[in-house]
Every structure is written in structure tokens, then in C-alpha cells.
Structure 1
Amino acid sequence: MLKNHKVFTLVFGIIFLLNIFTQSALLQDLNIFIKPLICISLAFYLFKNANMAAGFNRLVFVGLIFSLFGDCFLLFAGRDIYFFLYGLVSFLLAHVVYSFAFFRDFKNNPQASKIYGHLMFFILGVFTLSFYTFIRDYLNDFRIPVMVYMFVISIMAIMAAYRYKRVDLFSFRLILTGAVFFVISDAALAFNKFVEPYPFAGILIMSTYMLAQYLITIGAIERKVEVLI
């Protein structure tokens, strides 16, 4: 339960608010020191509180490290478009690793209910195709990288949904909600970056991103695999 993580949640809440503040106040110099704390704190907490002998937890840990690199690269995306590309690749790798972690739970019991996985497949299939069709003309040289990225993050969220009935319900809900927040965050980022900047974009992108990483990390720590009978 989340009450087992009260101290860390408080610490992460402070990191959350500091990042929102630096985004809203456009304090880029301070953000260089604050933003990396997101994944550093989560990776450290996961390492200290999860069984790192489990492949699932190791994969989530690696995903957080890739995300840390992505955060650092995106800090400088305004100075050089290649930093944005490096950040895109880093998060792409993070989503690939998360997908493999979630697939490990699916393959533990492929015969269990697939209802949420099928539902997420349909929802994200419609959303991803529609959203990409909408922004495609704005992407220029980023058409293929963004298409690949959207495909991979969709797979990540779909695999999170396929964990249903294979792990405890609490971990399932945390990680699935985190995956959905990730999709929202990246869609908001893509619209702001390629289509049209909009008010409070940074706050929306960062808040949903931080919630996504927090929920996935706590979901990994709380994970209990359903025993086959």
C-alpha cells in the first residue's frame, strides 16, 4: 500500500513541486540540478526496497537509468535539436525495457484474462493512429523517429494492461496508470514541440511524467506475482 511509502512519497513530493516550480518560473539553470533528481531518487528507492535479483525489478531499474539520460538530454534540447533526438532515443530505450519487464509478467501465465490488454490495444491503436495522422505534417525530419517512438510507447502501455490477473491488483493498477500517464505526457510534449506551444505545457508534461515514473516504480516494489493453481 502507498502508506508503506509515506516518507519517500513526501521526499518525492518535494522533488515534484521543485520541478513544477522551475518549469513555471523558467529557471533553466536551477532545473539542471533539480530534474535529474526525479529518476535518481526513484532508482535509489527501487534498489533499496525491491528484490533486485528479480528480472522484473532489474529491468525497471534500467528503464529509470535510461530515463535519467533522457531527462538530462532534454534539458539542453533548446540549444541543439540533436539533444532532443538523443533524449527521444533514451526514452525509447526506457520504454523498450519497461515493455520487456511487463512482458515477463504476461508470459508467467499467458492463459489468464486478456480483457484489459485487448481493451488497451484497441484504445491506443485508435489514439496513436489518429494522433500521428494529425501531427505528421508538422514533424518534418522527425516523422520516422516519432512514429517508432509512438509505436514503442503504445506497446509498453499495452503490455502493462496485459499484466492483469498475473500480478496483484494493486501493482497492476499502479503500473497501468503510470503507463497511461506516460502516454499523456509524451503526447503533450509532441504537440507542444511540433505543433504549437501552449500555456502551461511544461507543467502538464512534467507532472504527468513524474507521476508515471513514480507509479511504475512503486508498482514494481509492491509487485506480487499471482500463483498459478
Structure 2
Amino acid sequence: MLKKFPVFKLAYALIFVLVLAAEYWHWTRLNFAVKPAIALVLLTFLCLSTTLKGRFHQRLFTGLVFALTGDTLLMLCNYNPSYFLYGLIAFLICHVFYISAFYLDFLSAKELDKKGARIAIGSCAVVFTAFYFYLRPHLPLLKLPVLICVFTGALMVMMAAFRNQRVNSLSFKLVLTGVLFFILADALMAQVHFIKPFIHADLLISAVYMIAQCLIITGGVERKLIHTQTAV
């Protein structure tokens, strides 16, 4: 896999470095130029690699479009604080489209890996409930919206886990790891905005987020269904 997609990897590595440099040295103009390129490069890679033939890749594509929207809105929140909320809504919709894509793979063979499904459900129930109660005292007016976001994150992890044995191992591992990084980026952002910021938080969030999106989309490109009891 390391030898695959050299042009994409080079382009993404360059953007990765530029985004982190812009964050570290607070180069606002460079940040405005390169931050949207994260999703744009991934969108191009996804289109060229899959031609968006199936519903799975189409839903990943739509999720990425909303991620691009969210990135753009969050960059503008210094000019209008309401853009922060709109950006979070865009990312929530991105999560929903990713969930719907992973659900297609689950539907391809619903009866497989019931033990793995129970482990995923139980683990998510414990971890995400604990995280919500950790945040709750700091959410006087946002308890319900944050609860919805936490539930959506848990659902995304579960649906990524439910792909086990239904798709090839490489795709499963890449997507699940990417989703876990995505949730980590969400958790770090919640820590910064609702509890207490920490040094270089934006730098860490950007790095984790870029790794997450790259892994999810690469896993989507590498996807091969093992069981196809239903058309997906």
C-alpha cells in the first residue's frame, strides 16, 4: 500500500506541512489558502480513484463536501462568531454521510460478526457516555446539541467497526483508524472550546484531523466487499 498513489501522497504531505506551518506561525493568508485544500485534494483523489460509481463512494464524497464547508466556516469564525456553530453543523452532517456510507457495508451482510458488534456497542456506550458527563458541567446552554454530537460520534465509530468481515481487512483497518482519529479531533476541539484551551491545541487538532480524513478516504478507495447479500 505504501507504494500506491504516489502523486496523491506527495500532494497531501505538502498540504499537511503547509497547514501545520500556517497554524504554528499564525500565517492567516496561507491558512486560508491551504486549509480548504485538505478536502479538495481528497475529493480529487476519491473521484479519480473510484469515479464515484457506487453509493458508498458517493456518500463519502458528499461527506467530504460538508467537511470542506465546515473547514471554511471555522476559518471565518473570527469575523463572525456564528460561523463556528454553522461549521460544527457542517461537520455533523459530514459525520452523518460517513455513517450512511459505512451502514451500506453493514447491510451487505447483517448477520456477520455479532460478537464484534456487541463489543463495539458496549465500548462506545461506556466511553462516549463518560465523555459527555465530563463535558456536561461546562455546557449550560448546549447540553442537547453536544449530546447529539456525542451520539453521532459514537454511531460513526460503531458503523466503522461493523464493517469488519464485510470488507477487505485493509479498508476496514484504515477506515476504523481514521474514524478514531476523527473522534479524537472532535474531543480535542470540545476540550478547547468548552473546558480549557492548551498550548498548540489548533496545531494538534489540525494534524489529527488531516490524518483522520486521509485514512478514511484511502480506506474508502481500497474498499472491496467480501459479502454482497444486498446491492450496495
TM-based fold match above 0.5: yes
CA contact (8 A) 2:108 2:227 kept: no
Deviation at 1:49, TM superposition (A): 0.6
SS at match of 1:36: helix
Residue equivalent to 1:75:
75
Deviation at 1:33, TM superposition (A): 1.1
Q: Compared with structure 1, are the counterparts of its residues 12 and 114 closer, same or farther at alpha carbon in structure 2 (3 Å cutoff)?
A: farther
SS at match of 1:15: helix
The superposition leaves residues 190-225 of structure 1 with CA deviations (integer Å, 9 ceiling, x where unpaired) of: 001110010121121111111111011111111000
Residue equivalent to 1:86:
86
Deviation at 1:228, TM superposition (A): 5.7
TM-score when scaled to structure 2? 0.94
Question: How far, CA to CA, are the matches of 2:120 and 2:203 in structure 1?
Answer: 26
- 1:138-153 paired onto structure 2 within 5 Å: 138-153=138-153
Structure 2 unaligned residues grouped into runs of 5+? none
Question: How far, CA to CA, are the matches of 2:8 and 2:151 in structure 1?
Answer: 33
Residue equivalent to 2:62:
62
SS at match of 1:4: coil
Tell me the number of residue pairs that the alignment of Structure 1 and Structure 2 aligns: 229
SS at match of 2:205: helix
Question: How far, CA to CA, are the matches of 2:137 and 2:81 in structure 1?
Answer: 18
User: Do residues 45 (structure 1) and 45 (structure 2) align?
Assistant: yes
CA contact (8 A) 1:114 1:164 kept: no
Q: Is 115-124 or 46-55 further displaced after alignment?
A: 115-124
**In the alignment, residue 126 of structure 1 is paired with which amino acid?**
V
Residue equivalent to 1:122:
122
CA contact (8 A) 2:60 2:217 kept: yes
**In the alignment, residue 81 of structure 1 is paired with which amino acid?**
P
Q: Compared with structure 1, are the counterparts of its residues 118 and 52 closer, same or farther at alpha carbon in structure 2 (3 Å cutoff)?
A: same
**In the alignment, residue 217 of structure 1 is paired with which amino acid?**
I
The share of aligned pairs that are identical, in percent, is 35
TM-score when scaled to structure 1? 0.95
Residue equivalent to 1:196:
196
Residue equivalent to 1:137:
137
After superposition, the CA RMSD in angstroms is 1.4
